[in-house]
């Protein structure tokens, strides 16, 4: 079997309120492989947001082992984690997290600035990924000149810019109407079809139905981990 992109082994996470320990994750073990399309689901308080932060190297586990694309990131210092995040993970957030004074192309190119890529190459790569998400005619517009769906497509393009090992999408349709949500899911589906690994964090059953594998959390543990035999598909949006 191919090596996993993500390998989690007995991951725990606790927070301390004075002397009181609040255990949020209680021993999560799983593997996610290259070109998988996985949905992480769970009710409020299930630990899925905490797990997402650990998967995205935004936080470190209290215990256990996390290997991301061959590198053990479980105990990395913050500076090293930041470098891993920029190289290995493409984030798509519910709130888009675009800088209002920058154009779509400049927002998309921002991770390349931190990576030390030249201005010319940044512009070329930003234009290429914006074309991939069907925004080549909006690349010089600022976020306040774009619709919510267009802003999320900019965010997806930004997530793709570094050719990351994994796309981590946290409630990517949470702020969008149903039609626009379907457009975003179509684009994520195409990204997966092109060979990318996609992990989708959602509480919406209809959104999780697009994933090929669904992992459900409850009370800080994996409740079920099942293959979706008939993932939803969307006809091309006109």
3-state secondary structure of 196: coil
- Region of residue 150 (left: phi > 0; alpha: psi -120 to 50; beta: else): alpha
Cα–Cα nearest to 211, from 195, 197, 194: 197
pLDDT at 3 over 80: no
Cα 198 to Cα 188: distance, rounded to the nearest angstrom: 8
Neighbours of 148 (CB within 10 A): 16
pLDDT at 4 over 80: yes
pLDDT tens, 129-175? 999 999 999 999 999 999 999 999 999 999 999 989 999 999 999 88
Both structure tokens of 109: 């190119």
pLDDT value at position 2?
A: 65
Cα 119 to Cα 90: distance, rounded to the nearest angstrom: 20
pLDDT at 198 over 80: yes
By the 8 A CB rule, do 188 and 160 touch? no
- What residues does each domain of the chain span? 33-62+76-227
pLDDT value at position 113?
A: 86
Both structure tokens of 205: 């059953």
**pLDDT-derived band at 235, boundaries 50, 70, 90:** low
CATH of domain 33-62+76-227: 3.40.50.300
Average pLDDT of the chain is 91
Both structure tokens of 55: 């998967």
pLDDT at 237 over 50: no
pLDDT tens, 31-72? 999 999 999 999 888 999 999 999 999 999 999 999 999 999
Place of tokens 């899911």: 185
Q: Tell me the pairing of strands 198-201 and 166-170.
A: parallel
Q: What percent of the chain clears pLDDT 90, i.e. is strictly above it?
A: 73
Main-chain dihedrals φ then ψ at residue 207, nearest 5 degrees? -75, -40
Cα–Cα nearest to 29, from 228, 223, 222, 230: 222
| Cα torsion 110, 113, 118, 119: sign | positive
């Amino acid at each position: 079997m191919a090596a996993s992109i993500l390998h989690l082994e007995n991951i725990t996470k606790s927070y301390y309120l004075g002397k009181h320990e609040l255990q949020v994750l209680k021993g999560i073990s799983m593997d996610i492989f290259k070109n998988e399309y996985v949905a992480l689901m769970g009710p409020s308080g299930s630990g899925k947001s905490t797990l997402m932060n650990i998967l995205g190297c935004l936080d470190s586990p209290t215990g256990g082992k996390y290997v991301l694309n061959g590198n053990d990131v479980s105990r990395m210092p913050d500076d090293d984690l930041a470098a891993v995040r920029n190289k290995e993970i493409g984030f798509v957030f519910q709130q888009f997290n675009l800088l209002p004074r920058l154009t779509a192309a400049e927002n998309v190119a921002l991770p390349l600035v931190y990576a030390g890529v030249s201005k010319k190459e940044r512009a070329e790569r930003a234009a290429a990924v914006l074309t991939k998400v069907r925004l080549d005619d909006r690349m010089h517009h600022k976020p306040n000149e774009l619709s919510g769906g267009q802003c999320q497509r900019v965010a997806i393009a930004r997530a793709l810019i570094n050719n990351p090992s994994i796309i981590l999408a946290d409630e990517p349709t949470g702020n969008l109407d149903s039609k626009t949500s379907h457009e975003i899911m179509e684009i994520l589906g195409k990204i997966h079809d092109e060979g990318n690994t996609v992990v989708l964090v959602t509480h919406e059953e209809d959104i999780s139905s697009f994933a090929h594998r669904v992992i459900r959390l409850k009370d800080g543990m994996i409740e079920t981990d099942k293959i979706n035999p008939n993932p939803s598909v969307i006809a091309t949006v006109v």
